[in-house]
A and B are shown apart, each in its own frame.
Chain A
Amino acid sequence: MRKQTRETGRNRRRYARLEKENIHLREALGTAQSANRAKSTFLSNMSHDIRTPMNAIMGMTSIGLSHIDEKARVQDCLLKIQTASTHLMSLVNDVLDMSRIDSGRMTISEEEFSLPDLVHDIAVIIRPQALQKNQSLILDIGEIYEEELVGDPLRLRQILVNIIGNAVKYTGENGRIRVSFSQHLCADNQAEGKDRVWLDFSCEDNGMGMSREFLKRIFVPFERVNNEATSKIEGTGLGMSIVKNLIDRMGGEIQVESEEGEGSCFRVTLLADVSRRDRKSPNLTAGATVLIAEALEHRSGKICGFLRECGLVPVVVTSGLTAVTWLTEAQYENRMPCAMLLGQKLEDTPSLELASHIRQLAGASFPILLVSETDWSQIEYRTTRAGINAFVPCPLFKSRLLETMSRLLNAGQEDSDKGIDGDYGGCHVLLVEDNELNQEIALELLSLIGVNVETADNGQEALELFEASDENYFDVIFMDIQMPVMNGYEAARRIRRLNRPDAGEVFIVAMTANAFVEDIRLSREAGMNDHISKPIDFEHLKEILSRQLKIRKS
């Protein structure tokens, strides 16, 4: 009886165990079936999404081949192929990311990064896209407590570019997008012995928006708004899903508000560690005046705030005429500001024309900084030609502004300590000039700023001196054009033809009163790099030297 009872109990337990195992098996089967279904859906979606751009690539390739002699048609095909292949590439990247997320292989790195760098990188990527649609893209920087942070800048950029990129994509021509970056302090900002701040990001647009229904599925992979308006917009439907996963892994939050036809607003909050890397604090003399020429009030207000925090005294003018008047008076009264910050917009003036006039008025040693949203690489040549010494990109960060000013002003200070306007000590110049007085004046001026000058009376002498010099000895050759024995064009041509590595690189500047287009063309054809007109404007000469030295150093 007792034995029977024991067996019954054992059987019950076995039964219960079997039941449990069955449940597990059923669950496992369900999971496997669900995974299988997801995989099928995924494959079905993917094959559709991959096939669409692939079809376009194949189709356009065949159209291009059949019209190979019509450049315009071929170009059109290639542009479409480029669009389709870019889309295909982003699809593959997204899929790989999703796969990493699913398999748990997605890691979030921890490295030091600069918030200004990150924001400027994003601006460089996004601005041209917004410009193409003539959209107003405002990048607003709010309260920032810490600019050097620790986190995964690559993934952070992926999140932000994805959200802002979507805003650009789903907002029409002439639309408005406002992106804002700010920070708020962490209640417990000393967690685990680390300083921390909350990074707040928002992106608001007046684009097509989303329905309430869709908002519920926005983070589901492959979900996209499907209507007539979106049918022509490229997208994988994976972006927001990846964004959500990345933010979750970073311990942050994302919120979306949207009204169909009205626009959308994304808000992201992320906790970031503060970098412990020491930053060199800017060395700026308190009490010094800085002239700001900017008509955009919010921009000049911000600049003033940053400068005042450092004890500098900002003076704001909003037009080119006022700037010139103010500087002429300041120069006359020996109260020149320590620098001028030239803004993006003035009431009356294109900034570069003003810079060019002020460079003449105030001389070569006067620091002029451009504070602008424009991509520096696009305008560098024109701005340096106009006499601008440095560039501060917008959106404006305090550190960028003050560090650039400090670098520029202290370079000037160090130099003036040495009694010179720039660090020309190691600079070797070959001055080719037949006129004795001109040679004397130039020699004196160049020697005054510490440049090592060698002179030649004509092109032939210059050629011989250059040939006899060590490789890369001369930084710049200032070459007169009309000279006896051998003129400047011929000398430049022959220098360029010499069989030595620096023959093609040495910077040759034509120095002549002949300023016709033909003269400039001829000097270029002879291999000269620049052209300055006579009588020599010493400021211009120094400007060329300083620019050239900077390039050689870099």
Chain B
Amino acid sequence: MQPYQEEYIDNLKEITSLTAHKRPEGQSFEEYYMRSLEDQALSERKLVRNMELLRDELFPELDRLPEADGSVLSDLQEFASKLLTYPDELDAGLFCQIRRALLSLMRLGRDRNGIIRELYWLGIGRNNLCNKLVGLELAESEKYMLKMRLCFAEAAAYLKYYDEIDSAETRGYILRSRANISLGQFKSPGEKIRLTKRTLQIMQDKAYQEKEPNLPWERFISMTHQQMTASISRSRTGIMSPEDIADVMESVYIVYHKMLQDMEEQKINPSCRSSFSYFSINYYCGLDTLDGLLTKMEMLMDSADDSDFSQDTMYGMISIPAFYCQYLQEHPEKLPMRTEYLENLYRRILRYVETFPESAGSESLFFYLRQLAHTFVETGNSITYGDFLQTLITRFAPDIYVHSYLVGKAASVLCGIIMEEEPSYFDDMDHIRSIRDPGEKRRKTEEYAMQCGIFHDVGKLNFTNLYSQMGRQWFEEEYEMSQLHTIVGRSRLYASPSTRLYAPAAHGHHAWYDGSRGYPESYRRLECPFRQMVDVIGLIDFLESMTSTEQLHRGPKKTFSDAVEEAVSLEGKRFSPLLTARLRDKEVAQRLEHTLTVSHREAYLRLYEREALPLTGTGRIPAPPG
């Protein structure tokens, strides 16, 4: 690799480490706060440096790609592979950008082997991006799934010319691409099963094997069988045909049944993942009842050792509970019998997450947590979904927590100012209009604004790689993907009664007042009874973001007064004139700026106190002052 590439990778690792959660460990709050500010400043400097490296080194290199020699190309490939090293994905977006450039170059030179290789890797990069879309409806995510799948499909189409291709490496890419076509979500399990079945037939075909005996055929076949069994857990909607069931059962037998038998003979405990797949497949294929499956899942979850942070235990502690909750969501009649178990389960998971060592942080943990957040079931005595989400944010994305806290505080202040002048300003919202006492009404509105602020960015939990861990500016495609946080946030908050009221703020805080721009399209301001509050959150979110590290992902950071000036210039377009009118008042602007400054420290104090407190298992952080 070239020196700039190594420096870029080192910077990314450092940014990830700097933005990760740091426990106080004997520090006073002052020390903790100062250290956090230093880390943030250093992380910003690294980000700026990374931009210099890309602009001065990488992009000119891509610019001159047609004249690049072999060593430049192999350095680029090595650099790209480091960006996507499992399990610590560093920069999937840049990986895709480099692979796309290489693909264009290969197409230009009509280099068949190169085209196939780059299609495969571009597909892999896109698969990583797709993994962030847990919790989205297929309609929202299928565009990304498809982009991935088309790359694999094009590379796999060369299978027909397998005999004419003399490179073992290229043949391997073709076969792996063929297998990867069935990655991701499908509209029905049948589609996925049929694609995987065809891959199995190809992998087991002696004609292919004999021509390239050095390829790891057994591994290919075993992984394809696993893919077949995974097709069920990832595609729960839709009904499987008898042929589908037979195909899956065959894979189950080959992969799991044999493995479980072997383990039993050797008196080794089977892994959580294998056992769950086996049990769930039995259920899906009609060999077990749902109650039977749930009981077996409880056994698996109970037997997971909560002091072990290996991949398999993580799966047993977080991912299996996610599936368990999904079954309960789909079959609410099973819930009453399991309420108590569920409540204890969540407490146990939170304790596990809270004790999770920093060094063990990985993409898998977060993937499982995203699954769990998506299938959360709220019961009478369980922790609330809001508390659960806050624990995840504070634990894994403290910068998002700080931003959300600041937005909540400043929104609360702005609401107070507005209500002093117009007590009925927020009366479009039923739960505010119904309050008679003016003082109580104002207090409840401010409280609501605070909670809307706290929760408005929960959707970003899916995309921490685009926010907390991002070590450069966004590419256009990433910017587009980041917009999905509004939809994910809305869908998460809306799913639970305790957070439903905050869903509009998550949904609409990037929409424009006049509807001409902004996102998402599904938010229709005039139809939303909470729009006055959504407007407030949108404005404060804008002011806070422009002055924070997040702005560096879009361009240079701005001062608060520049942000105010820009907001005012967007009066009647992006922002409600009723709000910008208040912002024109210098005293109001100063109050907001002061609130943001003071609250910044407060937010860190809350993070500090949360870490310093003994674990409660509730995940609850101290409530912010009203």
User: A interface vs B, CB < 8 Å?
Assistant: 69, 71-72, 75-76, 320-321, 324-326, 328-329, 332, 347-350, 353-354, 357, 360-361, 435, 437-438, 441, 482, 512-518, 520-521, 533-535, 537-538
Contact = CB atoms under 8 A, between A and B. Distances in A.
Contact of B153 (A325, A437, A518): A325
Task: Pick from B58, B59, B63, B64 the residue with the most CB of A within 10 Å.
Answer: B63
A36 B554 CA distance: 75
B108 interface: yes
Contacts of B151: 357
9 contacts: A71-B576, A324-B150, A325-B154, A350-B142, A438-B63, A438-B66, A513-B60, A516-B474, A517-B476
Contact of A513 (B101, B142, B531): B101
Chain A interface, >50% SS class: helix
Contacts of B154: 324-325, 328, 357, 361
Interface string B580-618: 000000000000000000000000000000000000000
A498 B142 CA distance: 46
A146 B161 CA distance: 48
B158 A535 contact: no
B15 interface: no
A516 B531 CA distance: 32
Nearest to A533: B101
A267 B160 CA distance: 54
B578 to A, nearest CB: 8
Nearest to A436: B67
A353 B150 contact: yes
A276 B576 CA distance: 60
A350 B577 CA distance: 38
Interface string B549-582: 0000111000000000000000000001110000
B64 A353 contact: no
Contacts of B158: 328, 332
Contacts of B187: 347-348
B605 to A, nearest CB: 34
B254 interface: no
A535 B577 CA distance: 45
**6 shortest A-B CB distances, which residue pairs?**
A328-B157, A513-B59, A513-B62, A516-B473, A325-B157, A518-B555
B157 A324 contact: yes
Interface string B152-164: 0110111011000
Given A348-B191, A515-B476, A516-B473, A535 B101 contact: yes
A516 B150 contact: no
Task: Pick from B161, B475, B478, B577 the residue with the most CB of A within 10 Å.
Answer: B475
A329 B160 contact: yes
B65 A516 contact: no
A1 B147 CA distance: 116
Contacts of B66: 437-438, 441, 535
Contacts of B156: 325
A72 B526 contact: yes
Contacts of B474: 516-517
Nearest to A350: B143
A438 B157 contact: no
B67 A518 contact: no
Contact of A321 (B63, B67, B142, B150): B150
Contact of B475 (A69, A441, A512, A516): A516
A117 to B, nearest CB: 31
Contact of B67 (A350, A360, A437): A437
Nearest to B149: A321
B143 A353 contact: yes
Contacts of B277: none
B191 A538 contact: no
B86 interface: no
B97 interface: yes
B353 interface: no
Given A321-B150, A535-B101, A512 B555 contact: no
A360 B63 contact: no
Contacts of A533: 101
Given A512-B59, A514-B59, 14 more contacts: A69-B578, A71-B577, A320-B153, A348-B142, A348-B191, A349-B150, A353-B147, A354-B146, A357-B151, A513-B58, A513-B101, A516-B473, A535-B104, A537-B108
A538 B104 CA distance: 9
Contacts of B146: 320, 348-350, 353-354
A354 B158 CA distance: 18
B479 interface: yes
B431 interface: no
Nearest to A352: B143
Given A71-B577, A535-B101, A513 B63 contact: yes
A334 to B, nearest CB: 13
A291 to B, nearest CB: 14
B554 A515 contact: no
Interface in B145-188: 146-147, 149-151, 153-154, 156-158, 160-161, 181, 186-187
Nearest to A538: B108
A215 B341 CA distance: 65
Interface in B67-106: 67, 97, 101, 104-105
A329 B157 contact: yes
Nearest to B474: A517
Contacts of B473: 516-518
Given A329-B157, A534-B65, A537-B104, A75 B181 contact: no
A517 B63 contact: no
B105 A535 contact: yes
B500 interface: no
Task: Pick from B105, B151, B160 the residue with the most CB of A within 10 Å.
Answer: B160
Nearest to B59: A513
Nearest to A445: B108
B150 to A, nearest CB: 4
A534 B479 CA distance: 19
Contacts of A349: 142, 146, 150
B546 to A, nearest CB: 14
Contacts of B153: 320-321, 324-325
Contacts of A512: 59, 63
A413 to B, nearest CB: 24
B531 A72 contact: yes
Contacts of A75: 526
A538 B476 CA distance: 21
B105 A357 contact: no
Contacts of A348: 142, 146, 149, 186-187, 191
A517 B526 contact: no
A534 B526 contact: no
Contact of A534 (B63, B191, B472, B576): B63
A229 B622 CA distance: 55
A321 B64 contact: no
Contacts of B149: 320-321, 348
A515 B105 contact: no
B62 to A, nearest CB: 4
A517 B555 CA distance: 8
A347 B195 CA distance: 13
Contacts of B65: 534-535
Nearest to A514: B59
Contacts of A518: 473, 554-555
Nearest to A539: B107
Interface in B110-161: 142-143, 146-147, 149-151, 153-154, 156-158, 160-161
A69 B422 CA distance: 13
A347 to B, nearest CB: 8
A360 B554 contact: no
B181 A321 contact: yes
A259 B377 CA distance: 48
Contacts of A321: 149-150, 153, 181
B258 interface: no
Contacts of B181: 321
Contacts of B64: 435, 437-438
A162 to B, nearest CB: 30
Contacts of A517: 473-476, 478-479, 553-555
